[in-house]
A and B are shown apart, each in its own frame.
Chain A
């Protein structure tokens, strides 16, 4: 092309419209060709594509051509015939094709929206004020503020850019014939582009945003990329339909395929089964040969183990009663956070049969203090949960809440749904909220501030959990006290010691890329959160607990509560079994302290609840019957340890529960927390249910009903708003 850039060798083209006898006028510029290219860039370069001849693209430029013209045309990878045009004629041609250029360039989005009657001045002013403060794109802001729909935005963009507008959901044919193969799945999702047609020379794509860098990348395919505008829901709908099957398979099988030793799909490995059988055989043989001694050894071992667990838990919990050990973000730090720099944040909300919580959910998400144009909220609904989907569609949810139907397939678990959502996550960070959650409004900003402050090893930030319906009944009060110990004392103490943290089921914030790197959640683990926390630690990443709270709905019904508890306990046992498949490698990855901390948290927690009723029963039996056999089970030293566990241990933990409530400022719960040993008996019930279920139905997900306290949640949101 070098010789052609010499003016002497370039033909001249008159781009002005000329009269042509009876036919009226002839425009030498083919607008359809011109519109294949991006107006901003081409107008800046002073180049206009005006037609085709001899399989070459005809372009006109002023003289001298812009220095970048050669490089830009070379990137088209197609033959180009270059012409020189008069500067005035070139400008007039641009105006004819793209519309007259104002002093500020092309007409602004807001102006077009006003012109089309999509907006009134007040709404525009509101959006512009928001934009000045938070940054972001006006279209997304306006949808976030509910002044426009996504389709409105598409219409405005199409008019602004003079691009064709396509309603994909109505007009697009079968998606099978579409050139999806040109780019990987991630590309289409990341840039929100749907390929429509490809004839080898021209690639027609539907975009939500014609400025997406994805279009630029597509030009590298050696085709002329011809964008059309469509709405966000169209893009998301088509992409979702296209990749639903692949994503579902990935959600289900990715972890098991990449790191099968981390998957709970099959619980016991042959080696573990052998160890279990050997242990059972040893105990059986012991009982057969010398049942008395065997029982004494067993009871002593269990009691000593119990004592170690109690001491360990007490030590950690009391450490956190003094100074705050969680990561904190001050109000000053939050204020210094420039909204313009905030990244897109994905919020995954798995929901199933929970129509009742939708209004709460909508308000809670809306209350988040985060630029709405950068919120990527995905409501993960089982595709056959028609009631919830219908309610969500009718529910006037904010535009940034995307309803993602998860195809029905086993296992029907929350982690599988989350994995499904994770694959579509657009955010740099991703978090997960339960449907009934009410997070502190500044939680996302706090997480961003902490991620920015921390090194790359901090892959997860866990917010604290508490309950908005704590005063509903005795059960919810105890439950709140338990969470206060766990999230306000125990987890922060683990964090401060650098030990692995079993994550809570909600409000854990991740770096998206790291979460994808470690394989997301295990869909077969019923406490996928705890498992993920351990996997992150094993992979060298760390978790911090932050001083921000998400309020959930505490289970207020006994049966429902036992179901939930049994799932948690089962999950902890499941996670322990999974990670103990290779204890040596676990030890190497976690280190001495981390390894034992893992044992105490993941095995110790369920074991304590499993053992409690056994010892309570033995103690009661002994007092009632003075049965010598029971006394025989506990030699003198062991007996004193047991008594210390029973008398001191129980009280100390009840007391620490009360302290934890006070530390949160929940002073009215202190008196109930002191009575929490009664609550532990219920926990033991759940633990035994879990233990039995672990054997019979290891991956069964005990669904917990939410929305029983809708009124209180709404009250709380009202209070917050006030």
Chain B
């Protein structure tokens, strides 16, 4: 027949993946999880006084867009991926009515609660696609939602849960496409990859490996033509999004790779040595040690190894093999690869949240293993499914136990510990919510107009009642005022130049200002906050 009528590819509407999101529990269970996540967010914020600095910073980025002296979208910043802040924009709009939305980063917590719930929905879809019975998939999804790290990151306003949910969505979409040939799940997977990229750069290697997995799976079961086309459909949106991000970086920051090389970026921060640990030093520039270091964090969810074994077996199995196993393995490797590269490169902080991939992929891989065993031992269905749920629950116990190990639980072990005991975080903990003394001072001195670098002053910016008192980094005239402050600001806020604070633009330009050795400034106030901020007045002799 050659080029004549090729049967349309999109007739498989009965595909499992298509049906997966239409079950009743895929509505009520995520709804319930959303409520739980929101409750946890409020509990952590008000009872434990837990407010993640990065979460506040992301909310602050949204705040600059709307409320800074120079409101514009570009104020969202070009270091972190902008999606979390973009999604927080509507909530931040309510800041004048509910300051806690910004000050305590509750806007971010709402977003993560939502994504935590969406993650449960995606997992339910994945489990349905694997043919897991309803009651067991509900139990499995509950296990997922109640995993200590998943629950924590579903309620703390960080970007990690957005990434995890996007991984689940992308994997579900790709597997549903492989199951039924419907293009819609493949498009959804592509969209989830864009969401992932909108949240974190880990999405890029994850996409690359997922595409490799898809290429392998489709070329093995269908045709190379389709493998190529499907891979393009999967990867094109995220490639385009990344191109646009680079374009915007070039357009506004005059460097397409600004997000990578920015003096405020993670790489620059880690280079200050603020996050160095002996283990990371051990892994630095050693492939073997990097792999071992990364593998060590699999203890965050040990059942992942069961799933890895099963996926490997069904991938390598010549007869009746299942290429979906390869897709899952590729996804796992992709999810970890940026962390591995940065570990090797010495650009990574030793944070447990970078390895939550093990939890998400663990659930997916264990469910895959169960589905394969079900196809072999049909008579043992209930037993196998119960075993799967027990394994997943034991994985949660494993996460809990890992949280007791300092090496594996930095910095969240103490948070989870305090959350369970109900006692507030110590004031020395960086994640402890504190009223900014700088903001209190500025609120008491409304005539002051202060130059501040939002890099480490976001807490101040969010707590100052009148945003026009501040000239911040995203303002168009920031750089000009930094060099010629006279007549344009009354004072300059500068943190103690140590650790990542050396990257502060003011410290960078005037390294001796904090110590009082810039002659055209005078010390107005010294604050006893974590950053040891000082406020210097601008003399008439200033440039």
Contact = CB atoms under 8 A, between A and B. Distances in A.
Q: Are A and B associated in one complex? A: yes
Interface of A: 321-324, 440, 468, 470-471, 488, 547, 549, 551, 636, 640, 647, 651, 655, 658-659, 661-671, 674, 715-716, 719-720, 722
A470 B6 CA distance: 13
B6 A666 contact: yes
A468 B3 contact: yes
A662 B225 contact: no
Contacts of A665: 6-9
B244 A647 contact: yes
Contacts of A716: 2-4
B11 interface: yes
Contacts of B244: 647
B4 A321 contact: no
B179 interface: no
Interface stretch (B99-107, B181-189, B342-350): B181-189
A658 B233 contact: yes
Given A322-B184, A659-B233, A674-B232, A719 B13 contact: no
Given A322-B13, A640-B73, A647-B244, A662 B1 contact: no
B462 to A, nearest CB: 23
Contact of A667 (B5, B182, B225): B225
Interface string B221-261: 00101101110110011001000100000000000000000
Contacts of A321: 10, 183-184, 187
Given A640-B73, A651-B237, A658-B233, A668 B225 contact: yes
Contact of A324 (B1, B2, B11, B237): B11
B4 A670 contact: no
A651 B237 CA distance: 8
A659 B223 contact: no
22 contacts: A321-B10, A322-B18, A322-B182, A322-B184, A488-B8, A549-B5, A647-B244, A655-B233, A655-B236, A658-B236, A659-B183, A659-B187, A661-B229, A662-B9, A662-B10, A662-B230, A662-B233, A665-B9, A668-B228, A671-B228, A719-B3, A720-B4
A567 B232 CA distance: 34
A583 B449 CA distance: 59
B6 A664 contact: yes
A663 B2 contact: no
A533 B1 CA distance: 33
B229 A324 contact: no
Given A322-B184, A324-B8, A720-B4, A670 B237 contact: no
Nearest to A467: B3
A551 B3 CA distance: 10
In the A-B complex, the 10 residue pairs with the closest CB atoms: A667-B229, A665-B6, A670-B229, A719-B2, A667-B225, A322-B184, A663-B10, A667-B226, A720-B4, A670-B232
Nearest to B6: A665
Which of B7, B8, B187 gathers the greatest number of chain A CB atoms within 10 Å?
A: B8
Nearest to B237: A655
Contacts of A663: 8-10, 183
Contact of A662 (B11, B73, B183): B183
Nearest to B72: A636
Given A322-B184, A719-B4, A720-B4, A662 B229 contact: yes
Contacts of B237: 651, 655
A105 to B, nearest CB: 46
Contacts of A658: 229, 232-233, 236
A470 B4 CA distance: 11
A36 B167 CA distance: 87
Contacts of B233: 655, 658-659, 662, 670
A156 B153 CA distance: 90
A722 B3 CA distance: 12
A549 B1 CA distance: 15
A185 to B, nearest CB: 40
Which of A662, A665, A670, A715 gathers the greatest number of chain B CB atoms within 10 Å?
A: A662
Contacts of B18: 322
A669 B183 CA distance: 15
Nearest to A652: B237
A663 to B, nearest CB: 4
A720 B228 contact: no
Nearest to B3: A716
A36 to B, nearest CB: 54
A235 B445 CA distance: 104
Nearest to B248: A647
Contacts of B228: 667-668, 670-671
B223 A667 contact: yes
A476 to B, nearest CB: 12
Nearest to B7: A665
Contacts of A668: 225, 228-229
A598 to B, nearest CB: 28
A471 B3 CA distance: 10
Contact of A323 (B2, B13, B226, B240): B13
A327 to B, nearest CB: 14
B229 A671 contact: yes
B182 to A, nearest CB: 7
Nearest to A318: B187
Nearest to A668: B225
B240 to A, nearest CB: 5
B400 to A, nearest CB: 41
Interface string B58-102: 000000000000001100000000000000000000000000000
A551 B5 CA distance: 9
A690 B236 CA distance: 33
A667 B186 CA distance: 14
A647 B18 CA distance: 29
Interface in B340-383: none
A625 B13 CA distance: 51
Nearest to A323: B13
A398 to B, nearest CB: 21
Contacts of B11: 324
A33 to B, nearest CB: 59
A669 B5 CA distance: 15
Interface string B313-333: 000000000000000000000
Contact of B1 (A547, A647, A719): A719
A553 to B, nearest CB: 13
A626 to B, nearest CB: 11
A668 B9 CA distance: 13
A722 B230 contact: no
Contacts of A549: 5
Contacts of B3: 468, 470-471, 715-716, 719
A655 B240 CA distance: 10
A471 B233 CA distance: 20
B9 A722 contact: no
B512 to A, nearest CB: 37
A720 B236 contact: no
A420 B399 CA distance: 80
Nearest to B71: A636
A720 B232 contact: no
A671 B239 CA distance: 13
Contacts of B73: 640
Interface string B411-444: 0000000000000000000000000000000000
Contacts of B9: 662-665, 667
Interface in B188-245: 223, 225-226, 228-230, 232-233, 236-237, 240, 244
Contacts of A323: 13
Nearest to B218: A667
A282 to B, nearest CB: 33
A319 to B, nearest CB: 11
Given A640-B73, A651-B237, A670-B228, 4 more contacts: A321-B10, A471-B3, A669-B229, A716-B4
Which of B3, B182, B240 gathers the greatest number of chain A CB atoms within 10 Å?
A: B3
Contacts of B72: 636
Contacts of A674: 232, 236
A325 to B, nearest CB: 11
A674 B230 CA distance: 12
